[in-house]
Amino acid sequence: MEDRQARPDHPETSPQAASAATLWVVATPLGHLEDLSPRAQSVLENAPIVAAEDTRISRRLVPNNKDQRWISVNEHTEKGWIERIIESLLSGQDVALVSDAGTPLISDPGFRLVSAAHDHGIRVSPVPGPCAAIAALSVAGLASDRFHFEGFLPPKSGARQARLRQLASLESTLIFYVPARDLLKALKDMSETLGPERLITLARELTKQFETIRRDSVAALSAWIEADSDQCRGEAVLVVEGASDPEPMISPQVLAEALRDSLPPSQAARLLGRVSGLSRQQAWQWIHGDGAEPTDHTNGAESK
Ligand code: SAM
């Protein structure tokens, strides 16, 4: 019997597919060329059109085929190419989409093209393989049942810290893409926002000659990198332990409003302080909402 799963040209047909052609989304190696799967190689060799982020990089993966058309589809050119690629697909020509390394669309271009293909009822099929985030998570030694993929943080420290603060209470493991030259800056901001004691795994230069995998606290990893400037070369993923002591689901403001409605102020403030860890004065201010401080006669007895 024919093994359909092993044939790159026979994916499961999507019920709404309107064209005979397929947009293949093909993962390619992060560094080690042998990580190109035989199926990925076959699709890349046989697709009449290959849309590559940088054609010079991706052309190295397959033998030169003069009948094939290679086009450069990157974040700047993707929009301009979509119509023409969709026309080619609708006329029956397969297109293989690749990025420079790893899985297209994962912090890489391709989303608009894949979305447009869906809009036109074109069959889209993945040729799965390397992805730096998943490779890093698989060796991080941190909880992998739930994770949040953040990709790149903002380049400016203020915006980076603000984003990290938003993520600080997430219990899921966090995954960041970081150019290795920015590791120390990112770790400094992580120390200030997530805390210096969080466990973190550096996964640098995965599958390449100087591959480094190291798990430590944010503070210790930072000190280790500072002592070895080679660690600031190449490409890196940081995988960070999720929050173990998440922020309360209910904000003090919401809690204060609920307590204020149903209890006398001094009792409400006492309870708010106990459940949210606020000081007596802070809890009182939340309950009053006017910055008033408790006085002796209001502490424990009603003064309304
Ligand atoms: N689409 C790719 C994927 O599937 O992982 C990611 C592309 S993104 C533009 C590039 C980032 O991926 C790098 O800055 C780095 O964070 C990560 N990365 C790519 N190759 C890597 C490698 N060999 N080792 C560690 N991180 C890598």
Stronger pLDDT, 245 or 244, i.e. the higher one:
244
176 Cα to the center of ligand 1, angstroms: 10
pLDDT in tens, 10-39: 444 444 555 689 999 999 999 999 999 999
Residue 12: per-residue pLDDT: 46
Tokens matching residue 286: 């939340």
Q: Is 93 in the pocket of ligand 1 (CB under 6 A)?
A: no
Q: Which atom of ligand 1 is nearest to the CA of 178?
A: 16
* CA angle (4, 8, 14) in 5-degree steps: 75
Cβ 205 under 6 angstroms from ligand 1 = yes
Lowest-confidence pick of 184-188, 213-217, 291-295: 291-295
Query: Best mutation site among 78, 98, 107, 147 for ligand 1, i.e. most ligand atoms within 8 A of its Cβ?
Result: 107
The per-residue pLDDT for 24 is 98
Please give the Cα distance from 295 to 292 (Å, whole number): 9
For ligand 1, is residue 35 a contact (CB within 6 Å)? no
Tokens in use for 14? 């999507």
For residue 240, the CA-to-ligand 1 centroid distance in Å is: 16
For 4, residues 6+ apart whose C-beta sits below 8 A from its C-beta are 10
Atom 16 of ligand 1: nearest residue by CA position: 177
Distance (angstroms) between ligand 1 centre and the Cα of 33 equals 15
Ligand 1, atom 26, residue with closest C-alpha: 236
* Distance (Å) from CA 173 to ligand 1 centroid: 18
H helix or E strand, kind and range, residue 261 = helix 252-262
Q: Name the closest-CA residue to atom 2, ligand 1.
A: 102
pLDDT of res. 289: 76
Q: Which helix (H) or strand (E) holds 238?
A: strand 235-240
Q: Which CATH architecture has domain 22-130?
A: 3-Layer(aba) Sandwich (3.40)
Least confidently predicted of 10-14, 90-94, 132-136, 283-287: 10-14
- Dihedral in degrees, nearest 10, Cα atoms 72, 38, 33, 134: 80
User: Distance from the CA of 30 to the center of ligand 1, in angstroms?
Assistant: 7
User: Higher model confidence: residue 220 or residue 281?
Assistant: 220
Statement: residue 3 has pLDDT above 80: no
CB of 218 within 6 A of ligand 1: the answer is: no
pTM above 0.85, yes or no: no
2 has pLDDT over 90? no
Non-local (6+) Cβ contacts of 76 within 8 A are none
215: confidence class by pLDDT, cuts 50, 70, 90: very high
Which DSSP string corresponds to 90-143?
HTT--EEEE-SSB-TTSSSS-HHHHHHHHHTT-EEEEE----HHHHHHHHS-S-
Report pLDDT for 242.
Answer: 98
* Nearest C-alpha neighbor of 164 from the set 154, 172, 173: 154
**What mean pLDDT comes out for the span 228-255?**
84
Computed over every residue of the chain, the mean pLDDT equals 88
Pocket test for ligand 1, best of 175, 177, 208, 239 (most atoms within 8 A of CB): 177
Residue-by-residue DSSP string for 69-95 = EEEE--TTTHHHHHHHHHHHHHTT--E
Q: Ligand 1: does its nearest atom lie under 6 Å from the Cβ of 105?
A: no
Distance 135 CA to ligand 1 centre (A): 10
The CATH code of domain 133-240 reads: 3.30.950.10
294 Cβ below 6 A of ligand 1: no
Do domains 22-130 and 133-240 share one topology? The answer is no
DSSP 12-64: PPPTT--SS-EEEEE-B-SS-GGGS-HHHHHHHHH-SEEEESSHHHHGGGS--
Domain coordinates in residue numbering, the chain? 22-130, 133-240, 250-304
| Nearest by Cα to 134 from 149, 122, 123, 120 | 149
Q: What is the pLDDT of residues 80-113, one digit of tens each?
A: 999 999 999 999 999 999 999 999 999 999 999 9
pLDDT at 18: 55
Give the pLDDT of residue 37: 98
